[in-house]
Each structure stands twice: as structure tokens, then as C-alpha cells.
Structure 1
Amino acid sequence: MSYGKVGSGQRLDGNLVETDLHGNQLKKIQTNGGRGYHAVTYDGYLFYNDRDNNVINRITQDSTITEFLKTGDWEPISIHSSHINGDILVGMIKNREAKVTRYNEEGREMQSIQKDNKGQELYIYPHYFTEYLSGDIFTSDLFKNAVVVVNKTGQHRFSYTGPRSGFYPYGICTDILGHILVCDGLNNTVHLLDQDGQFLSLLVTPQQGVEYPRGVCVDDESNLYVGQRNTNSITVYKYLQ
């Protein structure tokens, strides 16, 4: 099962589109989510954020939609399904605050990450994230212009701020070798980092015909999938030999 997002203008809403491996549309679900607002679990559930009602919904493979949890007065803007333990990570904002909250598979809150050891806010707009095998959480924060990394207990490890020319981080994932892959929406590239945030190379550049990269993921065969804004397309690359 493969889900992708189709953009719909300036407002952060859109559709969830299911396709087959050839790009043929199988299903489309209208939502009011935004970028980074859906996740698919290993057992085939699709989670997505209802930002208007501060709710996380769950969709089964037979398209049954149920309410998974409510986030109170926090607006859910991003979501990630952990392939380590099945937990659900949700990025949320409220007024001038932001946090990442961990829920178990039953929707019970397990952890809330908001500030560092000095009491400083870790996040401003945590709109994409992924989890490493060690439990580290890598968060693309657009308004901080950084990838913010905390360990499994929520302690700040480091932040990656990209090239000197500027950096707008969007979609992020990790691969089987422990690399971090993150879209740079300012320079229209995909960065390859090691597990400690050291820059290794650019995987995708504008010379390869990619514009406005927003979503990124890899599969077990080392194929790199890059979703692009406003083109309704996903480009697939072979990036590991």
C-alpha cells in the first residue's frame, strides 16, 4: 500500500491518494491535513491529522475511518508511525508553543518533548519527522530552518542547519545504513547525512529536474521516492548500489 499527498494551493489541506506501483490511482480521500500529516503503519493502518477538529483519525484497509485520539487545544500538524515499536509520534502547535508527543498503539500518551535542558523551546513548527533505530527523533522544523534531533528520552542531541545559503527542511527519513535524508525546499535538493548530522552529499539537485521537493522516503530495495509540490508526482531514484 502506498499513499501520497496531492497539494491544493496555499491552504494546507489536500487529498490522500492511494496508487499502485505504476502510479495508477486506486483511491482518494479528502482531508484537511497539510504537509507531513499522514503515516502508514506496518499492519496497514493509515493515520492522518484532522487539523480543524484537533483529532487523529485512523483508516483501515477497507476504508473505515475512526477517531483514534483527540489532542485537546493543540493543533496536530504532523504524524509519524514508528517502525521500531509501533508508537505514534505527533507534532503539535498551540499559540507560540510547539511539541512532539508520543502515543502508544492504543492512543495513550507516553512522552511529550517540548524544551531542552536549559528550558529553551526545541521546536517552532515540527512538520515532518522520523525515528532512528536508537530511538532518536529527527524533526524538520521549517520556522527554525533546522533539523532538530533528540534522543529517545527527549534530550537535545544536535541541530542540522544546512548550507550557508539557507535551509528550508521538509520531508525526512532514514535508510537501512543509518543515513538521514531530508528535503531542502529552499535549494530544491535532498541532503544525505550521517547519524550524527554530518553532511555527506546531495542526492537530488535541480539539475535532475526536481522542483519543490517536499516528501521523501526509501524502500527496502534502496529506491528513493521524492514527492514534489504542485506537480502531483513522485519521482523514484536508485541512490544506493
Structure 2
Amino acid sequence: MANPQAQDIIRCRYCEDEPAVFHCIPCGDDLCPGCKVFHLKSKVPSGHNIVRLSDKFHANNQIKMCEVHSSKAYEACCKDCQAPVCILCIQEVHGEHAIGKIQDLYEKQKAETAEELCKIKTQLKLEIIQRIKDFNEEEKEIKTCHENIREKMKKQGQDFINHIISILREALHESEEDEKRKSEEIFHQKEENEKFDQSLDHLIGKFEALTRSNHPADFLLYLKKNPNTFRELKFPEKVTIAKPLFTAGRFNKFKNKHQFGKFIAGQISHLKSVDDSLQAIQPTFKKVLERSVKLSELKTKREKLLHVRCLDDRSAYISGRGLRILLIDSSGTELDSISTDRQPFGLAVMQDRSLIYSDFEDKVIYRMSLDKKKTKLLNTMYHPRGLCCSRSCDILVCMSDYKYSLSGRVVKYSNSGEILQVFLEDQNGKRLFVNPYFVCENVNDDICISDIEIKNSKVVVLNRSGELQFKYYGNIQSRTSKKEFKPLGLATNSLGHILVADNANNAIHLINQDGNFLSYILTEDDGISRPWGISVDTSDNLWLVEHTNACVKLYKFLS
């Protein structure tokens, strides 16, 4: 009788005599120790992966069948396509591609995925947790703010009601007093006329009695004694009493609403779609290059260049001395030209891609739509310079007036031209600016302003509420700073870095959100001269205009 246990022994596929101890996963063969040596000498695209027979059915050692050729297992990987392939896939599609071991590609992509997951845990996850925390705090702040506003509205409404009641009481009192005065006059006149009526009755009765007398002598003697009886009759004066009138005042809903006060609802700005938002976070993996790479350079025919404002990652508006604003692409090709009545002193791009610019002399901000229709967006109290359109669709304007040394300020307007905030003093009542020149908004909603003085020029950074965060006076210790720090153009990137064009020292400073100097991404050694306006496009490339050379340069400074 055969031994039933012998039937359970798995034999080597090649010699068929010896029990199998090993298993080759790609080939699917069970091997004894002796045949294992010869099996390893045979060549297959994926290479051999020998495991103990006891590990054959482990999840990691299971054969995965090809999704295209269901009868064939994935034996290798295509390095060019970064995908697992079977023998038929190699013959039909990947014959000319580089073929490698599937395990090698797995280990490589596993390591890269682990690195990305680590970044997600340490950066994206923390970013989202912080955002949720910020939203919770903001929800509380919004609720408290609205509760306070509603209390103010109720108080203002009660004050209006009290004022209206006071006016009503005064008007009712006037009516009552007038009624009383006229009632007294009517009573007096009625009394006078009643007395006169009684005297008339007496006179009529007297003469009627005399005419009924049998003796004419009585009648004649009475008239003899009272010759002026009828002539002396004096009628009471005639009094006309006009009826009172009430003319209702004209109620103007619009006017009275503004007399009550105006509620300005804060706008909700959705920066981008969900996919774009993730892309906006992912650039935090970017690093600053050790040396910036020049992508292009354009020498313009303009006399002097002052401003540059990116429209996207392929084009930007530039302006300088003169009455034209140009739209150019990254190769320097002129795409469009806009004529102006005066030289622009600031450029900005709205979220609908329309252009706005400041007219320094006339104290006006103009808007140029995509179809080139020019409209006056708003009038400013002082002379406007640098402009910025925030993500919340508001407009930040730098202003100053040379006649008044304390006029420097930054004003936030709504896109309809209403003043929302005026940034003038810090939390301690000290002046923030002398001559604000350029302004931009950071990814954390901080407002960055370059302030130009004869001495002590600086970059002033405020939070969205207008509270001072820090002032940056340049990298004093650096050998690059040979002259007094003169910050002009400002820009920010996706990492929240602040870029500062140091016009006096021919350098571009890079500082972080806390005002700490990080590096010079460009210096005089890189060939830049008199940088004025700067702007960072959606791909984090730097556009700068050189004032003296009238040159536009494009650099890559993040990897």
C-alpha cells in the first residue's frame, strides 16, 4: 500500500526525483537544491527570484498576471514606460525599450513614494491641520465680529428710532400748541359775536316795540335822544383762521440707508480649484538654486523702464518713461500696446486679467479691460504710486504727497472704489511710512511695502489687519551692500519668500516671512544693473526690469 504522505511531496520540475525545496517566482518553477544551480544559469528578462518553497504562497511572492495578456505573468519592467510587462508585452510594444527587473523598479518607486509620503506628512498634512485650525479661529472671529456689528447696528437703529421719536414728539407738540392757540382764538371770537348778537336782539326788540306803540311820539322822542343808534353799531372784526397743513418730507431710501451707516461684507476669495490648490502647496518642496539661471533677456527701445507685472507664466506688462504700456512674452515679442495720457506710476493685474495703472499727477487709478476699454476706477486723496490686486479682489495703493511729509500711507480699496482700510500707523501710533513706493501681497496675506527715504529706506511688512510684523533694512553685514539700501520693486513666490530689488547695490534680496535674510538670488556679478520693478510669474520665475539699460530679464531661481 502506498504511503499517503508521499503523495504530498512536491517534486523538482526538472529532475522529478528530488523533493522541491525552492521556488522561482518569475519562472514559476519548483526546484531542488541541485537544479537550482542550473536554473540560475538560464537567462530571463526579469532575472530569477528564488525563495524557499514554504514562502511560495506569501502575498509578496504571488505571481501577478498581465492585464493585457491574461495568460502571461508580469516578468519584468519597462524602464522607459515605468511599468511592469510580460514577455508578450515586450515582444509587441516594448521591444526597443530598456527592460529591467520588476523588483528594482518597485524598490525605486517605493522609496520615492515613501519620500513623497514623508513630505505629505511633514508639510501638506501640517499645512492642512494649520488651515483647519485657522478656519476654526476665523470662524470664531467672524462670529464675534458679526455679533459686535449687529450690536452696533441695533444701537444705531435705536438711536435713529429715538431721534425719529424726538422729531415726532416735537411735531406733535407743535400741532397741539397750534390747536390750543386757535381754539382759544375761536372761543374769544365766538364770545364776541354772541355778545354782539345779543345786542342786536335787544336793538331789534326795542324798535319793534316802538313801532308797535300806539303813540308815534314815543318813537320820535327815542330817535331824537338816540340819533346815532344804527351808525354806532360796530361789527366784531372778521377773523380768518387757516387750517393747518402737514407736508411729509421726502424719504430717500438710498440716502437714509447711508445716513444710518453702511455694512461692508468681507469677500470670500476662492483662490483656485482643488487640484490647483494642491499644486499651490506642492511648490513648498522647491528649493532655491545656488545660482539663478537666466532664461531670456530683452533689450527694449524704451528710454527708462520702471515697472513689470506678470500676466501669467508666459507674458508680462512693462512700462517706463513714456505714455505706453507694453505686453510682451518671455521671448521678448511685443503682444500688445496700450496708450496712456500720462506716465504710469504703478501697474497691477486684476483677477479677471484686466490691467490697472496709477496716474500720479491726476490722482486717479485707471482700469483697462481686455477689449481695451479704459475707465476711471477710483480717485485717490494723495498721489498714487505702486499698486497690488489682492487675492480677495481688493486694491492696495501706495500714496504720498510731497507737500506734507506725513502723508505717506497705503490704502485698501474695494474693486468698486470704496475705502476699506488705511494703513498709516503701527500698534503704538508711530508712522509706518514716509514715502511708500511699491506694494505686494504674500501667500500668507501679509502686505509688503517698500518705503524710500534719504536714509533708513526699508521694507515694511504688515499682516492683513494692518499690524506691523517687521521692518527690513537690508543685509547690513554683507559685502554686497556697498551703498545705502534702496528697496524698490517687491515680489513674493509660492514659498512665501519676499524678493526685494535693491536698486543702489544692484542686487535682489531673498528674505523669509519673518524678515530674515536668506540669500542674494542675483547680484552685480550676475550682470544686473539698476533693477527697478520685479515680478514673479505663476511658475516662480523672476522677471525684472533694469532702469538705465531699459532691459527686461527673466530668471529661474527655484528648482
Name the TM-score, length of structure 1 as normaliser. 0.91
Cα offsets for 1:140-191 (capped at 9, x unmatched): 1121410011111111111000032421001111100111111001110000
AA at the equivalent of 1:201: S
Query: Which blocks of at least 5 consecutive residues in structure 1 are unaligned?
Result: none
Q: Separation in 1 of the partners of 2:356 and 2:538?
A: 22
Q: 2:360 maps to which residue?
A: 51
SS across alignment from 1:85: coil
Q: Separation in 1 of the partners of 2:507 and 2:341?
A: 28
Q: Separation in 2 of the partners of 1:161 and 1:168?
A: 9
Partner of residue 447 from structure 2, selected from 112, 123, 137? 137
AA at the equivalent of 1:4: I
Cα offsets for 1:200-230 (capped at 9, x unmatched): 0001111111100011111222211111103
| Equivalent residues of 2:412, 2:419 under 8 A apart | yes
Aligned in 2, Cα 1:161/1:31: closer, same or farther, shift over 3 Å? Answer: farther
AA at the equivalent of 2:397: V
Q: 1:80 maps to which residue?
A: 388
Aligned in 2, Cα 1:34/1:67: closer, same or farther, shift over 3 Å? Answer: closer
Q: How does 1:81-230 map to 2 (within 5 A)?
A: 81-82=389-390, 84-94=391-401, 95-96=404-405, 97-143=407-453, 144-164=456-476, 165=481, 166-230=484-548
Residue 20 of structure 1: CA displacement? 2.9
AA at the equivalent of 1:221: S
| Equivalent residues of 1:216, 1:227 under 8 A apart | yes
Residue 14 of structure 1: CA displacement? 5.1
Q: Separation in 1 of the partners of 2:386 and 2:539?
A: 26
Aligned in 2, Cα 1:152/1:43: closer, same or farther, shift over 3 Å? Answer: same
| Equivalent residues of 2:344, 2:359 under 8 A apart | no
SS across alignment from 1:207: helix
| Equivalent residues of 1:124, 1:141 under 8 A apart | yes
Identical amino acids, percent of aligned pairs: 33
Greater RCO (CA < 8 Å, at least 6 residues apart): 1
Q: 1:71 maps to which residue?
A: 380
Residue 115 of structure 1: CA displacement? 0.8
Q: Separation in 2 of the partners of 1:34 and 1:18?
A: 14
| Equivalent residues of 1:33, 1:48 under 8 A apart | no
Q: Separation in 2 of the partners of 1:225 and 1:45?
A: 19
Residue 22 of structure 1: CA displacement? 2.2
SS across alignment from 1:239: strand
- 1:21 aligned to 2:335? no
| Equivalent residues of 2:443, 2:494 under 8 A apart | no
Q: 1:42 maps to which residue?
A: 351
AA at the equivalent of 1:113: F
Quick check: 198-207 or 94-103, which moved more? 94-103
Q: Separation in 2 of the partners of 1:163 and 1:134?
A: 23
Larger Rg computed on CA atoms: 2
Residue 49 of structure 1: CA displacement? 0.8
Query: Which blocks of at least 5 consecutive residues in structure 2 are unaligned?
Result: 1-310
Count of residue pairs brought into register by the alignment: 233
SS across alignment from 1:43: coil
AA at the equivalent of 1:237: Y
AA at the equivalent of 1:87: D
Higher strand share: 1
| Equivalent residues of 1:167, 1:184 under 8 A apart | yes
Q: Separation in 1 of the partners of 2:387 and 2:539?
A: 24
SS across alignment from 2:496: coil
SS across alignment from 1:220: coil
Q: Separation in 2 of the partners of 1:162 and 1:112?
A: 26
SS across alignment from 1:119: coil
Residue 231 of structure 1: CA displacement? 2.2
Q: Separation in 2 of the partners of 1:5 and 1:32?
A: 11
SS across alignment from 2:558: coil
Q: Separation in 2 of the partners of 1:79 and 1:219?
A: 16
Name the TM-score, length of structure 2 as normaliser. 0.40
RMSD (Å), alpha carbons: 1.6
Cα offsets for 1:5-29 (capped at 9, x unmatched): 23x3xxxx65321123321222142
